Structure 1
Amino acid sequence: MRILISCLFFLLFFGNGHAQEIAVLKYGGGGDWYSNPTSLPNLAVFCNQQINTAISEKTETVTPGSIDLFNYPFVHMTGHGNVYFTPEEAENLRDYLTSGGFLHIDDNYGMDKYLRKELVKIFPNKELKELPANHPIFSVQYNFPEGLPKIHEHDGKRPQAFGIEHNGRLLLLYTYESDLGDGWENPEIHNDPQEVRLKALRMGANIVKYVFEN
Protein backbone atom coordinates (compact mmCIF):
# COMPACT_ATOMS: atom_id res chain seq x y z
CA MET A 1 0.00 0.00 0.00
CA ARG A 2 2.78 2.44 0.92
CA ILE A 3 4.58 1.64 -2.35
CA LEU A 4 1.38 2.46 -4.25
CA ILE A 5 1.00 5.72 -2.35
CA SER A 6 4.63 6.66 -2.98
CA CYS A 7 4.22 6.00 -6.70
CA LEU A 8 1.02 8.02 -6.75
CA PHE A 9 2.77 10.89 -4.99
CA PHE A 10 5.60 10.75 -7.53
CA LEU A 11 3.19 10.89 -10.46
CA LEU A 12 1.11 13.72 -9.02
CA PHE A 13 4.07 15.69 -7.71
CA PHE A 14 6.26 15.56 -10.81
CA GLY A 15 3.73 14.88 -13.52
CA ASN A 16 1.20 17.71 -13.45
CA GLY A 17 3.02 21.00 -12.95
CA HIS A 18 2.78 21.17 -9.18
CA ALA A 19 6.50 20.76 -8.54
CA GLN A 20 6.71 24.18 -6.88
CA GLU A 21 3.27 24.65 -5.42
CA ILE A 22 2.21 25.66 -1.91
CA ALA A 23 -1.22 25.04 -0.40
CA VAL A 24 -2.94 25.98 2.86
CA LEU A 25 -4.26 23.13 4.99
CA LYS A 26 -7.98 23.45 5.69
CA TYR A 27 -8.29 21.45 8.90
CA GLY A 28 -11.25 20.72 11.17
CA GLY A 29 -11.92 21.59 14.80
CA GLY A 30 -13.12 25.16 14.41
CA GLY A 31 -9.72 26.87 14.28
CA ASP A 32 -9.20 29.70 11.81
CA TRP A 33 -7.13 27.86 9.22
CA TYR A 34 -7.90 30.75 6.83
CA SER A 35 -6.09 33.42 8.86
CA ASN A 36 -3.30 35.40 7.18
CA PRO A 37 -4.84 35.28 3.68
CA THR A 38 -2.12 37.46 2.11
CA SER A 39 0.79 35.53 3.61
CA LEU A 40 1.42 32.82 1.04
CA PRO A 41 0.88 35.02 -2.03
CA ASN A 42 3.43 37.49 -0.65
CA LEU A 43 5.86 34.71 0.21
CA ALA A 44 5.47 33.29 -3.29
CA VAL A 45 6.29 36.67 -4.86
CA PHE A 46 9.34 37.07 -2.64
CA CYS A 47 10.63 33.56 -3.36
CA ASN A 48 10.06 33.92 -7.09
CA GLN A 49 12.03 37.16 -7.10
CA GLN A 50 14.80 36.23 -4.68
CA ILE A 51 15.46 32.49 -4.96
CA ASN A 52 14.26 31.79 -8.51
CA THR A 53 11.25 29.65 -7.69
CA ALA A 54 8.16 29.50 -9.90
CA ILE A 55 5.44 29.29 -7.26
CA SER A 56 1.88 30.25 -8.15
CA GLU A 57 0.80 33.45 -6.41
CA LYS A 58 -2.73 32.06 -6.09
CA THR A 59 -3.23 30.30 -2.76
CA GLU A 60 -4.74 26.83 -3.05
CA THR A 61 -6.45 25.04 -0.16
CA VAL A 62 -6.38 21.34 0.59
CA THR A 63 -7.97 19.19 3.29
CA PRO A 64 -5.94 16.67 5.30
CA GLY A 65 -8.00 13.70 4.16
CA SER A 66 -7.96 14.47 0.45
CA ILE A 67 -5.88 12.71 -2.19
CA ASP A 68 -5.26 16.22 -3.56
CA LEU A 69 -2.82 16.66 -0.70
CA PHE A 70 -0.33 14.66 -2.78
CA ASN A 71 -0.40 17.38 -5.46
CA TYR A 72 1.64 19.71 -3.28
CA PRO A 73 5.23 19.24 -2.09
CA PHE A 74 4.77 22.02 0.48
CA VAL A 75 1.67 22.54 2.64
CA HIS A 76 1.30 25.39 5.12
CA MET A 77 -0.89 25.34 8.22
CA THR A 78 -1.71 28.20 10.58
CA GLY A 79 -4.36 29.50 12.96
CA HIS A 80 -5.14 30.64 16.48
CA GLY A 81 -7.41 27.93 17.86
CA ASN A 82 -8.59 24.35 17.86
CA VAL A 83 -7.20 21.71 15.52
CA TYR A 84 -8.71 18.27 14.94
CA PHE A 85 -7.74 15.41 12.64
CA THR A 86 -9.90 12.33 12.18
CA PRO A 87 -8.07 8.99 12.21
CA GLU A 88 -8.43 8.84 8.43
CA GLU A 89 -7.00 12.34 8.03
CA ALA A 90 -4.10 11.54 10.32
CA GLU A 91 -3.31 8.43 8.28
CA ASN A 92 -3.47 10.37 5.02
CA LEU A 93 -1.19 13.07 6.40
CA ARG A 94 1.27 10.44 7.60
CA ASP A 95 1.29 8.79 4.16
CA TYR A 96 1.73 12.17 2.47
CA LEU A 97 4.62 13.19 4.69
CA THR A 98 6.47 9.87 4.63
CA SER A 99 6.06 9.71 0.85
CA GLY A 100 7.94 12.99 0.29
CA GLY A 101 5.57 15.78 1.31
CA PHE A 102 6.30 18.58 3.76
CA LEU A 103 4.12 20.37 6.30
CA HIS A 104 5.01 23.76 7.77
CA ILE A 105 2.89 24.68 10.79
CA ASP A 106 3.09 28.28 11.95
CA ASP A 107 1.37 28.98 15.27
CA ASN A 108 -0.49 32.25 14.84
CA TYR A 109 -0.81 32.23 18.65
CA GLY A 110 -3.19 29.93 20.46
CA MET A 111 -3.07 26.66 18.54
CA ASP A 112 -0.16 25.01 20.36
CA LYS A 113 -2.09 23.08 23.01
CA TYR A 114 -4.49 21.72 20.40
CA LEU A 115 -1.90 20.99 17.74
CA ARG A 116 0.46 18.89 19.83
CA LYS A 117 -2.16 16.27 20.71
CA GLU A 118 -3.19 16.00 17.05
CA LEU A 119 0.39 15.48 15.90
CA VAL A 120 0.49 12.38 18.09
CA LYS A 121 -2.26 10.94 15.90
CA ILE A 122 -0.08 11.37 12.83
CA PHE A 123 3.16 10.15 14.39
CA PRO A 124 2.42 8.25 17.62
CA ASN A 125 6.03 7.04 17.86
CA LYS A 126 7.75 10.31 17.03
CA GLU A 127 8.07 13.56 18.95
CA LEU A 128 8.71 17.16 18.08
CA LYS A 129 12.35 18.05 18.59
CA GLU A 130 13.72 21.56 18.66
CA LEU A 131 15.99 22.36 15.74
CA PRO A 132 19.38 23.76 16.77
CA ALA A 133 20.47 27.16 15.49
CA ASN A 134 23.05 25.48 13.25
CA HIS A 135 20.42 23.49 11.37
CA PRO A 136 20.81 24.15 7.61
CA ILE A 137 17.27 25.51 7.35
CA PHE A 138 18.57 28.65 9.08
CA SER A 139 21.34 29.25 6.57
CA VAL A 140 20.37 27.62 3.26
CA GLN A 141 19.87 31.07 1.67
CA TYR A 142 19.80 33.74 4.38
CA ASN A 143 21.76 33.42 7.58
CA PHE A 144 19.95 33.34 10.92
CA PRO A 145 22.77 32.52 13.36
CA GLU A 146 20.42 32.53 16.37
CA GLY A 147 17.84 30.32 14.70
CA LEU A 148 14.18 31.19 14.20
CA PRO A 149 13.57 34.97 14.24
CA LYS A 150 11.00 36.68 16.44
CA ILE A 151 8.39 38.52 14.38
CA HIS A 152 5.52 39.24 16.79
CA GLU A 153 5.58 39.33 20.57
CA HIS A 154 2.96 37.48 22.60
CA ASP A 155 4.04 36.02 25.94
CA GLY A 156 7.67 37.07 26.03
CA LYS A 157 8.77 33.56 25.10
CA ARG A 158 11.65 32.88 22.75
CA PRO A 159 10.86 31.68 19.24
CA GLN A 160 11.37 27.98 18.66
CA ALA A 161 11.44 25.77 15.59
CA PHE A 162 10.47 22.14 16.13
CA GLY A 163 10.71 19.34 13.63
CA ILE A 164 9.82 15.73 12.99
CA GLU A 165 12.19 13.62 10.90
CA HIS A 166 11.70 10.31 9.12
CA ASN A 167 14.62 8.34 7.71
CA GLY A 168 16.84 11.36 8.16
CA ARG A 169 14.53 13.76 6.32
CA LEU A 170 12.81 16.73 7.95
CA LEU A 171 9.18 16.33 6.92
CA LEU A 172 7.40 18.61 9.40
CA LEU A 173 8.42 22.02 10.72
CA TYR A 174 6.53 23.73 13.53
CA THR A 175 7.39 27.39 14.14
CA TYR A 176 6.29 28.57 17.58
CA GLU A 177 6.30 32.01 19.26
CA SER A 178 7.54 33.62 16.04
CA ASP A 179 4.47 34.40 13.89
CA LEU A 180 6.24 34.20 10.55
CA GLY A 181 2.92 34.29 8.71
CA ASP A 182 2.01 37.67 10.19
CA GLY A 183 5.31 38.98 8.89
CA TRP A 184 4.48 37.73 5.39
CA GLU A 185 1.17 39.57 5.31
CA ASN A 186 0.54 42.87 3.52
CA PRO A 187 2.34 45.66 5.42
CA GLU A 188 -0.84 47.61 6.26
CA ILE A 189 -2.35 44.65 8.15
CA HIS A 190 0.08 44.61 11.07
CA ASN A 191 2.09 47.76 10.38
CA ASP A 192 5.33 45.89 10.86
CA PRO A 193 8.53 47.78 10.04
CA GLN A 194 10.05 46.80 6.70
CA GLU A 195 13.05 45.18 8.38
CA VAL A 196 10.73 42.90 10.38
CA ARG A 197 8.77 41.86 7.29
CA LEU A 198 12.01 41.27 5.41
CA LYS A 199 13.28 39.06 8.22
CA ALA A 200 10.07 37.00 8.11
CA LEU A 201 10.12 36.70 4.32
CA ARG A 202 13.77 35.67 4.30
CA MET A 203 13.12 32.95 6.86
CA GLY A 204 10.15 31.82 4.78
CA ALA A 205 12.36 31.69 1.70
CA ASN A 206 14.83 29.58 3.65
CA ILE A 207 12.09 27.10 4.49
CA VAL A 208 10.88 26.93 0.88
CA LYS A 209 14.38 26.50 -0.53
CA TYR A 210 15.28 23.86 2.04
CA VAL A 211 12.16 21.87 1.20
CA PHE A 212 12.55 22.09 -2.56
CA GLU A 213 16.24 21.16 -2.49
CA ASN A 214 16.11 18.31 0.04
Structure 2
Amino acid sequence: MKKLTTLFLTLFTFSLFAQDVAVLKYKGGGDWYGNPTALPNLVKFCNDNIDTNINENIQTVEVGSTDIFQYPFLHMTGHGNVFFSEDDAENLRKYLISGGFLHIDDNYGMEPYITKELKKVFPNNELKEIPKDHKIFNAAYEFPNGLPKIHEHDGKAPQAFGIFHEDRLVLLFTFESDLGDGWEDPEVHNDPEEVREKALKMGANIMKYVFEN
Protein backbone atom coordinates (compact mmCIF):
# COMPACT_ATOMS: atom_id res chain seq x y z
CA MET A 1 0.00 0.00 0.00
CA LYS A 2 2.83 2.37 0.90
CA LYS A 3 4.56 1.72 -2.44
CA LEU A 4 1.31 2.41 -4.33
CA THR A 5 0.77 5.64 -2.40
CA THR A 6 4.32 6.76 -3.14
CA LEU A 7 3.91 5.98 -6.85
CA PHE A 8 0.59 7.84 -6.98
CA LEU A 9 2.07 10.89 -5.28
CA THR A 10 5.04 10.82 -7.65
CA LEU A 11 2.86 10.64 -10.76
CA PHE A 12 0.58 13.32 -9.33
CA THR A 13 3.54 15.59 -8.70
CA PHE A 14 4.86 15.06 -12.24
CA SER A 15 1.44 15.93 -13.67
CA LEU A 16 1.30 19.14 -11.69
CA PHE A 17 4.72 20.24 -12.90
CA ALA A 18 4.55 18.64 -16.33
CA GLN A 19 6.14 21.59 -18.11
CA ASP A 20 8.91 22.43 -15.63
CA VAL A 21 12.61 21.68 -16.03
CA ALA A 22 15.59 22.18 -13.73
CA VAL A 23 19.37 22.12 -13.51
CA LEU A 24 20.76 19.36 -11.28
CA LYS A 25 23.26 20.39 -8.60
CA TYR A 26 25.68 17.69 -7.46
CA LYS A 27 28.63 17.27 -5.09
CA GLY A 28 32.27 16.57 -5.92
CA GLY A 29 33.55 19.99 -6.91
CA GLY A 30 32.56 19.85 -10.57
CA ASP A 31 31.03 22.98 -12.09
CA TRP A 32 27.37 21.92 -12.10
CA TYR A 33 26.56 25.61 -12.70
CA GLY A 34 28.35 25.70 -16.08
CA ASN A 35 26.62 27.04 -19.20
CA PRO A 36 24.16 29.27 -17.29
CA THR A 37 22.38 30.56 -20.42
CA ALA A 38 22.06 27.13 -22.06
CA LEU A 39 18.87 25.69 -20.60
CA PRO A 40 16.94 29.00 -20.64
CA ASN A 41 17.81 29.45 -24.33
CA LEU A 42 16.79 25.88 -25.15
CA VAL A 43 13.46 26.27 -23.37
CA LYS A 44 12.72 29.48 -25.27
CA PHE A 45 13.66 27.81 -28.56
CA CYS A 46 11.31 24.92 -27.81
CA ASN A 47 8.43 27.18 -26.83
CA ASP A 48 8.92 29.27 -29.97
CA ASN A 49 9.40 26.41 -32.42
CA ILE A 50 7.84 23.12 -31.33
CA ASP A 51 4.74 24.29 -29.45
CA THR A 52 5.89 23.40 -25.96
CA ASN A 53 4.78 25.42 -22.97
CA ILE A 54 7.77 24.94 -20.69
CA ASN A 55 8.24 27.26 -17.73
CA GLU A 56 11.08 29.64 -18.68
CA ASN A 57 11.90 30.24 -15.01
CA ILE A 58 14.64 27.60 -14.63
CA GLN A 59 15.20 26.23 -11.15
CA THR A 60 18.18 24.47 -9.56
CA VAL A 61 17.63 21.31 -7.50
CA GLU A 62 20.04 19.16 -5.51
CA VAL A 63 20.38 15.53 -6.49
CA GLY A 64 19.57 14.31 -2.99
CA SER A 65 16.46 16.46 -2.56
CA THR A 66 12.90 15.24 -3.00
CA ASP A 67 12.35 18.46 -4.97
CA ILE A 68 13.62 16.65 -8.06
CA PHE A 69 10.26 14.87 -8.21
CA GLN A 70 8.66 18.19 -9.21
CA TYR A 71 10.50 18.18 -12.54
CA PRO A 72 9.98 15.63 -15.33
CA PHE A 73 13.24 16.82 -16.96
CA LEU A 74 16.59 17.46 -15.27
CA HIS A 75 19.71 18.75 -17.01
CA MET A 76 23.20 18.12 -15.67
CA THR A 77 26.53 19.39 -16.99
CA GLY A 78 30.10 20.11 -15.96
CA HIS A 79 33.78 19.58 -16.72
CA GLY A 80 35.06 17.65 -13.73
CA ASN A 81 34.40 15.59 -10.65
CA VAL A 82 30.98 14.26 -9.71
CA PHE A 83 30.09 12.51 -6.46
CA PHE A 84 26.81 10.89 -5.43
CA SER A 85 26.33 9.74 -1.87
CA GLU A 86 24.34 6.54 -1.40
CA ASP A 87 21.31 8.66 -0.49
CA ASP A 88 21.79 10.80 -3.61
CA ALA A 89 22.01 7.71 -5.79
CA GLU A 90 18.91 6.14 -4.26
CA ASN A 91 16.93 9.36 -4.64
CA LEU A 92 17.96 9.71 -8.26
CA ARG A 93 17.17 6.07 -9.02
CA LYS A 94 13.66 6.43 -7.54
CA TYR A 95 13.14 9.61 -9.55
CA LEU A 96 14.15 7.96 -12.82
CA ILE A 97 12.16 4.76 -12.41
CA SER A 98 9.11 6.80 -11.35
CA GLY A 99 8.93 8.65 -14.67
CA GLY A 100 11.67 11.29 -14.49
CA PHE A 101 14.35 11.91 -17.10
CA LEU A 102 17.95 13.09 -16.75
CA HIS A 103 20.05 14.56 -19.54
CA ILE A 104 23.77 14.67 -18.74
CA ASP A 105 25.81 16.78 -21.16
CA ASP A 106 29.57 16.35 -20.85
CA ASN A 107 31.01 19.85 -21.02
CA TYR A 108 34.43 18.20 -21.43
CA GLY A 109 36.16 16.06 -18.82
CA MET A 110 33.11 14.78 -16.99
CA GLU A 111 32.89 11.30 -18.50
CA PRO A 112 35.17 9.24 -16.20
CA TYR A 113 33.51 10.63 -13.08
CA ILE A 114 29.87 10.41 -14.08
CA THR A 115 30.14 6.88 -15.48
CA LYS A 116 31.57 5.74 -12.13
CA GLU A 117 28.84 7.46 -10.12
CA LEU A 118 26.04 6.12 -12.31
CA LYS A 119 27.00 2.62 -11.19
CA LYS A 120 25.72 3.64 -7.76
CA VAL A 121 22.38 4.64 -9.28
CA PHE A 122 21.94 1.58 -11.51
CA PRO A 123 24.43 -1.12 -10.43
CA ASN A 124 23.01 -3.60 -12.93
CA ASN A 125 22.51 -1.26 -15.88
CA GLU A 126 25.25 -0.17 -18.25
CA LEU A 127 25.30 2.95 -20.37
CA LYS A 128 24.43 1.78 -23.88
CA GLU A 129 25.02 3.66 -27.09
CA ILE A 130 21.69 4.78 -28.51
CA PRO A 131 21.13 3.68 -32.12
CA LYS A 132 20.80 6.38 -34.76
CA ASP A 133 17.27 5.29 -35.62
CA HIS A 134 16.01 5.91 -32.07
CA LYS A 135 13.12 8.38 -32.01
CA ILE A 136 15.05 10.82 -29.84
CA PHE A 137 16.93 11.70 -33.05
CA ASN A 138 13.78 12.54 -35.00
CA ALA A 139 11.21 13.61 -32.40
CA ALA A 140 10.96 17.12 -33.89
CA TYR A 141 13.92 17.45 -36.26
CA GLU A 142 15.70 14.80 -38.32
CA PHE A 143 19.22 13.76 -37.31
CA PRO A 144 19.78 10.64 -39.42
CA ASN A 145 23.44 10.49 -38.38
CA GLY A 146 22.65 10.69 -34.69
CA LEU A 147 24.06 13.18 -32.23
CA PRO A 148 25.53 16.32 -33.88
CA LYS A 149 29.08 17.51 -33.24
CA ILE A 150 29.08 20.99 -31.67
CA HIS A 151 32.58 21.43 -30.17
CA GLU A 152 35.79 19.62 -31.03
CA HIS A 153 36.97 18.50 -27.58
CA ASP A 154 39.24 15.52 -28.38
CA GLY A 155 38.13 15.39 -32.01
CA LYS A 156 36.23 12.15 -31.47
CA ALA A 157 32.86 11.35 -32.96
CA PRO A 158 29.90 12.47 -30.82
CA GLN A 159 28.10 9.69 -28.98
CA ALA A 160 24.76 9.43 -27.21
CA PHE A 161 24.52 6.87 -24.43
CA GLY A 162 21.46 5.90 -22.45
CA ILE A 163 20.21 3.92 -19.51
CA PHE A 164 16.93 2.11 -20.02
CA HIS A 165 14.51 0.94 -17.36
CA GLU A 166 11.82 -1.48 -18.49
CA ASP A 167 12.45 -0.44 -22.10
CA ARG A 168 12.05 3.27 -21.29
CA LEU A 169 14.98 5.62 -21.86
CA VAL A 170 15.37 7.31 -18.47
CA LEU A 171 18.83 8.85 -18.84
CA LEU A 172 20.69 10.37 -21.78
CA PHE A 173 24.44 11.03 -21.65
CA THR A 174 25.76 13.14 -24.53
CA PHE A 175 29.53 12.83 -25.03
CA GLU A 176 32.04 14.56 -27.36
CA SER A 177 29.27 16.85 -28.61
CA ASP A 178 28.70 19.58 -25.99
CA LEU A 179 25.13 20.51 -26.85
CA GLY A 180 25.03 22.93 -23.91
CA ASP A 181 27.76 25.12 -25.40
CA GLY A 182 25.65 25.36 -28.54
CA TRP A 183 22.62 26.43 -26.50
CA GLU A 184 24.49 29.26 -24.81
CA ASP A 185 24.16 32.91 -25.82
CA PRO A 186 25.90 33.45 -29.21
CA GLU A 187 28.64 35.68 -27.80
CA VAL A 188 29.79 33.09 -25.25
CA HIS A 189 31.45 30.73 -27.73
CA ASN A 190 31.01 32.59 -31.03
CA ASP A 191 29.71 29.45 -32.71
CA PRO A 192 28.39 29.84 -36.27
CA GLU A 193 24.62 30.18 -36.38
CA GLU A 194 24.22 26.85 -38.17
CA VAL A 195 26.11 25.09 -35.35
CA ARG A 196 23.93 26.70 -32.68
CA GLU A 197 20.85 25.76 -34.67
CA LYS A 198 21.92 22.11 -34.80
CA ALA A 199 22.46 22.10 -31.04
CA LEU A 200 19.12 23.73 -30.33
CA LYS A 201 17.25 21.41 -32.67
CA MET A 202 18.79 18.34 -31.07
CA GLY A 203 17.89 19.79 -27.66
CA ALA A 204 14.33 20.30 -28.88
CA ASN A 205 14.25 16.62 -29.89
CA ILE A 206 15.23 15.65 -26.35
CA MET A 207 12.55 17.87 -24.82
CA LYS A 208 9.86 16.65 -27.18
CA TYR A 209 10.82 13.03 -26.56
CA VAL A 210 10.68 13.53 -22.79
CA PHE A 211 7.31 15.28 -22.71
CA GLU A 212 5.60 12.98 -25.19
CA ASN A 213 6.85 9.55 -24.08
Q: TM-score, normalised by structure 1?
A: 0.97
Match of 1:142 in 2: 141
Divergent runs of 4+, >4 A: none
Match of 1:7 in 2: 8
CA contact (8 A) 1:26 1:33 kept: yes
1:116-131 counterparts in 2 under 5 A?
116-131=115-130
Match of 2:151 in 1: 152
Which 5+ residue runs of structure 2 have no aligned equivalent?
A: none
CA contact (8 A) 1:2 1:95 kept: no
SS state at 2:12 partner: helix
SS state at 1:23 partner: strand
Match of 1:29 in 2: 28
User: How far 1:2 moved relative to its partner?
Assistant: 4.1
1:60-139 counterparts in 2 under 5 A?
60-139=59-138
Match of 2:185 in 1: 186
Q: Number of paired residues? A: 212
Matched to 1:210, the amino acid is: Y
User: How far 1:133 moved relative to its partner?
Assistant: 0.8
Post-superposition Cα deviations, 1:46-88, rounded to whole Å, max 9, x if no partner, equal 0001111111222200111111100000000000000000000
Question: What is the RMSD computed on CA atoms of the aligned residues?
Answer: 0.9
Matched to 1:189, the amino acid is: V
CA contact (8 A) 1:42 1:184 kept: yes
SS state at 1:121 partner: helix
CA contact (8 A) 1:5 1:99 kept: no
Matched to 2:14, the amino acid is: F
More displaced, 5-14 or 92-101?
A: 5-14
User: How far 1:193 moved relative to its partner?
Assistant: 0.4
Matched to 1:68, the amino acid is: D
CA contact (8 A) 1:180 1:200 kept: yes
Identity over aligned pairs, percent: 67
CA contact (8 A) 1:183 1:192 kept: yes
Which 5+ residue runs of structure 1 have no aligned equivalent?
A: none
User: How far 1:3 moved relative to its partner?
Assistant: 3.0
SS state at 1:82 partner: coil
Matched to 2:6, the amino acid is: I
Cα distance change of structure 1 residues 2 and 153 upon mapping to structure 2, 3 Å threshold: farther
Match of 1:209 in 2: 208
SS state at 2:169 partner: strand
Post-superposition Cα deviations, 1:20-53, rounded to whole Å, max 9, x if no partner, equal 1110000000000000000011001000011111
Task: Measure the CA separation in 1 of the matches of 2:184 and 2:27.
Answer: 23
Matched to 1:93, the amino acid is: L
SS state at 1:78 partner: strand
